[in-house]
Structure 1
Amino acid sequence: MFMASLYVASGLDTQWHDARATFYGDMGGNETMGGACGYGDLFKQGYGLETTALSSALFNNGATCGACYEIMCVNAPQSCKPGSITVTATNHCPPNSMGGWCNPPRQHFDLSQAMFVKIAQYQAGVVPVKYRRVTCQKRGGIKFEISGNPSFNLVLVYNVGGAGDVWDLKIKGSATGWITMKRNWGQKWETGVVLQGQSLSFRVTTSDGQWVELDNVAPANWQFGQAFEGNRNL
């Protein structure tokens, strides 16, 4: 049985803020791996090109992976195009890259090229932008990819709606109680509890305090390397 999600006072900052944006890759979709967030092939996982890498000031050591942002180009009439884009944070733009634009304390978005050219001229290279957090709209249920070994379970959680950024993940085997997992890196979470041979349930909590319980997501015969989809999202 599924538990209803519980809403706690929203922690999302939906105000507009100033930043800058650059782009990476090419229009063909190269460089679409999830990198520092732990995501794999962004097309297979449903993120596609509607993605961005975040500077350290926004990345928050990976805690912001999965968050969604609305971004518009501003204050550069020769470079900006009208309208805005919505992207999901899937990677880190490290310091001393992109000409230093991602150095702390700068707030910066390194967009896929396909997204950048929707709001700015390609030739601009870097533009001033306004951004705000928005609710992530994802198709289907929250997904979980399980890797590791019999004594170490590593779970990637992705395709998360709502706030998008998972701040707490719990797992429960059919023979255990709820186990709080530890963030390994990005949106990969770990536990050393032996869970093989048990069906697995998950409780996902995002940064705004909303949570959802997904029971029996993985059957008892699950194997490492497999991914499973819950039948609900935030």
Structure 2
Amino acid sequence: MYMNMNFPIFSILVLVLLVVASPCHCQDGYVCTRATYYGSPECPGNPHGACGYGEYATIVNDGLTAGVSRLYKNGSGCGACYQVRCTIPTHCSKEGTNIVVTDFAIGHYTDFVLNARAYASLALPNMASELIAYGVIDVEYRRIPCKYSYNLKLKVHERSSFPSYIAIFPIYQAGFYDIVAAQVWLEDCKEWRDMRRVFGTVWDMENPPRGALTIRIQVVSAINGEVKWVQLVGVIPTEWKAGLAYDTAIQFD
């Protein structure tokens, strides 16, 4: 039986609870939907979101983040990057803004619940307050590759307990790939053992093997559906510590 970590299964940022938007496809590869916001422009994000990122959710992408509904994909949509732009010519910039998914959220007929800072960044100069007054707006979006100046890292969750219980989650995940599975190599048994998705992008295991942990992750391309395993040899050191992030020495294109 797995340790009870008292994690939330998900957190919902509700502005008006009802129905999620049915998207339509726009030109140039964009998808039409609607977006709303939560918080204030000074709010850096939700550190308790359903993806399990903790404080990372407040600093990634300069704090321009969003909760999503159907794009959450049972947690594998966490960390995905999107270009979002609104469609009011007098209020919205042509470029829009780039956001990172850090939470599960449902708004009123919306796919995106942006933090207020990201929502305001959709606007033309000096038009943010007018845009915020709308509350819910039509937008179009497309998936874009995340880009970071760091390698992919695996962070050991703060609620891990050495050596009997470990939970990990990826941060600075670039490219177009979604992580859908994780396994640990058991040297004594010469086999891979599945890790459990606790919630969001957090994976755990009770009684992990001693020594440095070799982990492999299964990823799926959001572009062409390619599925592959990526092996990370000895990525978690023998004396791992809760709260620390370990460099994988790789990054996705």
TM-score by length of structure 1 reads: 0.78
Look up the match of 1:229: 247
Paired-residue identity, %: 26
Asked if the contact 1:136–1:162 (Cα under 8 Å) also holds between the matched residues in 2, the reply is: yes
How far does the alpha carbon of each residue in 1:162-195 deviate from its partner, in whole angstroms, 9 at most, with x for none?
Answer: 2253112222366564322121100001223433
Distance in structure 2 (CA, Å) of the matches to 1:202 and 1:124: 46
Please name the residue that 1:40 is paired with. Answer: 54
Deviates more, 1:173-182 or 1:126-135: 173-182
SS, match of residue 178 in structure 1: strand
Distance 1:166 1:180, change over 3 A: same
Equivalent AA in structure 1 for residue 246 of structure 2: F
Distance 1:44 1:215, change over 3 A: farther
Q: Does the alignment pair 1:158 with 2:171?
A: yes
Matched, 1:112 2:115: yes
SS in 1 for 2:29: coil
Q: Please report how far the alpha carbon of residue 107 of structure 1 lies from its aligned counterpart in structure 2 after TM superposition.
A: 4.6
Cross-structure match for 1:67: 80
- Does 2:142 match 1:128? no
- The 3 A distance-change label for structure 1 pair 28 and 174 is farther
1:194–1:216 distance in 2 versus 1, CA, 3 Å:
closer
Instruction: Give aligned pairs, total.
Output: 210
- 1:42 and 1:226 map into 2 onto residues whose CA distance is 12
Aligned to 1:145: 155
Contact preservation (8 Å) 1:140, 1:232: no
Shift of 1:73: 0.9
- Residue type of the alignment partner of 1:73: C
8 Å CA contact retained: 2:45, 2:58 = no
Tell whether 2:178 aligns with 1:168: no
Take 1:45 and 1:173, find their aligned partners in 2: how far apart are those partners?
A: 35
Q: Which runs of 5+ in 2 are unaligned?
A: 1-24, 124-130, 222-226
SS for the counterpart of 1:115 is helix
Distance in 2 between residues matched to 1:140 and 1:177, nearest whole Å: 31
Compared CA separation, residues 107 and 61, structure 1 to 2 (3 A): farther
Counterparts of 1:47 and 1:217, CA distance in 2: 25
User: 5+ unaligned residues in a row in structure 1: which ranges?
Assistant: 1-12
1:52–1:87: 8 Å Cα contact kept in structure 2?
yes
The AA in structure 2 aligned to 1:153 is I
206-215 or 137-146, which deviates more: 206-215
- Asked if the contact 2:156–2:166 (Cα under 8 Å) also holds between the matched residues in 1, the reply is yes
Assess if the C-alpha contact under 8 Å between 1:20 and 1:128 holds in 2.
Answer: yes
Distance apart, 1:15 and its partner CA: 3.3
Equivalences for 1:4-23 in 2 at 5 Å? 15-23=29-37
| DSSP-derived class of the 2:203 partner | strand
